[in-house]
Amino acid sequence: MITITDNGVGMDQETKNKAFSLFFSSKGTEGTGLGLFVSNKIALSHNGTISIESTLGQGTCFTIVLPNKFKGEVS
C-alpha cells in the first residue's frame, strides 16, 4: 500500500467521481486528463486499486493498493 497526500485545495464529490475519467482535468488548460486515468488502468491491470479521500480546503489522499504477487510462495 502506498499513500500520497497533499494539503492543496481538495476535491468536491463531483471531481472525485470524475477523477479517473479519460481527459478529465480540474486544472483547466494545465492538465491533459491522462495522469489519473493511466495510473488507475495500471493499478487495475495488476489487480490493484486507487482510492481518493479528499476534503475541500484541506487536501487529498490517494491510496494505491497492489497485491503481493509472491505472497505465500517459497523460493
Beginning with the edge strand found earlier in the chain, give each strand of the sheet holding 49-55 in spatial order.
2-5, 59-65, 49-55
Percent of the chain with pLDDT over 90: 79
Q: 4-25, pLDDT tens digit by residue?
A: 999 999 999 999 999 999 999 9
71: in domain: no
Distance CA 72, CA 75 (A): 10
Does residue 73 belong to any structural domain of this protein? no
Phi–psi pair at 45, nearest 5 degrees: -65, -20
pLDDT at 4: 97
Query: Which residues have a Cβ under 8 Å from the Cβ of 49 and sit 6 or more positions away?
Result: 43, 63, 64, 65
pLDDT at 71: 60
Q: Is the pLDDT of residue 66 over 60?
A: yes
Instruction: Establish if 56 belongs to a structural domain.
Output: yes
34 occurs within a structural domain:
yes
In the chain, how many domains are there? 1
For residues 45 and 69, the model is more confident at 45
Task: Kindly report whether the global pTM for this prediction surpasses the value 0.85.
Answer: no
Whether 74 maps to a domain, the answer reads no
What domain range is 48 assigned to?
2-65
What CATH number corresponds to the domain at position 36? 3.30.565.10
